[in-house]
Amino acid sequence: MQPRSSGFLLIWVIVSVWFLAAATQGVAQTKFEKLHVGYSAQAGSLAPIWITQEAGIFKKHGLDVELLFIPGGPTAVAALLSGEVPITVVGGPAVVSSNLAGSDLVMIAGIVNTFAFQIVTVKPITTYQQLKGKRLGVNRFGASPDVAARFALKHMGIDPKEITILQLGEQSTRLTAMMAGQLEAAVFLPPITTMAQKQGMKVLLDLAELGAEFQITGLGSSQKFLTQRRPTAIKFMQAFVEGIHYYKTHKPESVKAIAKYMKINDMEAVGATYDYFAPKVVPQKPYPSLKGIKALIDLTANEKPEVRNISPERFVNTTILKEVDDSGFIDRLYR
Residues 161-215 pLDDT 10s: 999 999 998 888 999 999 999 999 999 988 889 889 999 999 999 998 888 899 9
- Measured CA distances, 189 to 20, 45, 113, 194, 225 (Å): 50, 8, 15, 8, 31
- At residue 178, the pLDDT reads 96
Number of domains in the chain: 2
Helix/strand/coil for 192: helix
Residues 220-267 pLDDT 10s: 999 999 999 999 999 999 999 999 999 999 999 999 999 999 898 889
Residues 232, 199 share a domain: no
pLDDT above 50 for 4: no
Domain boundary, last residue among 210, 229, 252: 210
Cβ atoms of 95 and 85 within 8 Å: the answer is no
Query: What is the CATH classification number for the domain harbouring 182?
Result: 3.40.190.10
Domain span at 318: 33-114+213-333
Residues 220, 287 share a domain: yes
71 prior amide bond cis, ω within 30: no
Rounded to 5°, angle at Cα 29 from 23 and 35: 130
**Would you say residue 10 lies in a domain?**
no
